[in-house]
Chain A
Amino acid sequence: DAGVIQSPRHEVTEMGQEVTLRCKPISGHDYLFWYRQTMMRGLELLIYFNNNVPIDDSGMPEDRFSAKMPNASFSTLKIQPSEPRDSAVYFCASSSGRLNTEAFFGQGTRLTVV
């Protein structure tokens, strides 16, 4: 397996624009997580899915953020409208169904909102 695949790797956008980040989890994994990493706050969990269903979105900062998982092999994180404070590295991770297994991370998307 190629691991967790995220796209794009880098995104620069203007304030107010819509941004969509994409993730392909490892095949067979039924948990998918979206994290955000900043210097100030470190890694924060935004939302996670189990079997394509959002389980906990309490980490989503505000209504401008939304996430979907239309099928087991694809998820999106959308920010609309984007703001400069959204600049961060966004990571997607996946794991198998059992609670005691490893989480595997993608390479991340570095988002810059100017």
Chain B
Amino acid sequence: KQEVTQIPAALSVPEGENLVLNCSFTDSAIYNLQWFRQDPGKGLTSLLLIQSSQREQTSGRLNASLDKSSGRSTLYIAASQPGDSATYLCAVNGNNRLAFGKGNQVVVIP
């Protein structure tokens, strides 16, 4: 069974700093990995999708890397803003079923 871990569970950073969020998974036989954002009381918004054959994916201030062999992915958010405050969830796709971590709860302090 795929186990997905996200560390740290919660973090606070001052505005302008770069954010680094880590995700690890136990089974490297994956099709892709997806990062989501969840605001309180809301659904999940897809941020980035990395295929198993890719090393990284970028969208604006967001960059996600994938090291499948070591079972790790990192989400970088450059020059954080208060609007980036949310919970970030990592989900690993194995055989078309997503296994989720419990998330990184981020607060960006103005």
A residues with a Cβ closer than 8 A to B are: 31, 33, 42-43, 45, 48, 56, 91, 93, 95, 99-108, 110
Q: Give the interface residue-count category, chain B.
A: 20 to 34
Contact indicator A102/B89 (Cβ below 8 Å): no
- At the interface with chain A, which of B15-23, B59-67, B73-81, B90-98? B90-98
CA separation between A11 and B89, bound complex, in Å?
25
CA separation between A110 and B42, bound complex, in Å?
10
Q: Which residues of A contact B98 (CB under 8 A)?
A: 33, 43, 45, 93, 103
With A43-B100, A45-B97, A45-B98 in contact, is A99–B31 under 8 Å at CB? yes
**Interchain CB contact (< 8 A) of A99 among B36, B42, B89, B96:** B96
Asked if B24 is at the interface (CB within 8 A of a chain A CB), the reply is no
Contact indicator B102/A104 (Cβ below 8 Å): no
Asked if B83 is at the interface (CB within 8 A of a chain A CB), the reply is no
With A33-B98, A42-B103 in contact, is A107–B43 under 8 Å at CB? yes
CA separation between A56 and B1, bound complex, in Å?
14
CA separation between A49 and B101, bound complex, in Å?
22
Main secondary structure of the interface of B (DSSP, over half): strand
- Expressed in whole angstroms, the minimum distance between the Cβ of B34 and any Cβ of chain A is 6
- Expressed in whole angstroms, the minimum distance between the Cβ of B12 and any Cβ of chain A is 20
With A43-B89, A108-B43 in contact, is A100–B51 under 8 Å at CB? yes
CA separation between A98 and B42, bound complex, in Å?
27
- Expressed in whole angstroms, the minimum distance between the Cβ of B26 and any Cβ of chain A is 15
- Expressed in whole angstroms, the minimum distance between the Cβ of A105 and any Cβ of chain B is 4
CA separation between A114 and B85, bound complex, in Å?
32
- Expressed in whole angstroms, the minimum distance between the Cβ of B32 and any Cβ of chain A is 5
Contact indicator A91/B44 (Cβ below 8 Å): yes
Contacting residues of chain B (1-60) with chain A, CB-CB under 8 angstroms: 31-32, 34, 36, 41-46, 49, 51-52
Contact indicator A102/B101 (Cβ below 8 Å): no
Additional 5 contacts, C-beta under 8 A, given A103-B46, A103-B91: A48-B97, A99-B93, A102-B34, A105-B46, A108-B43
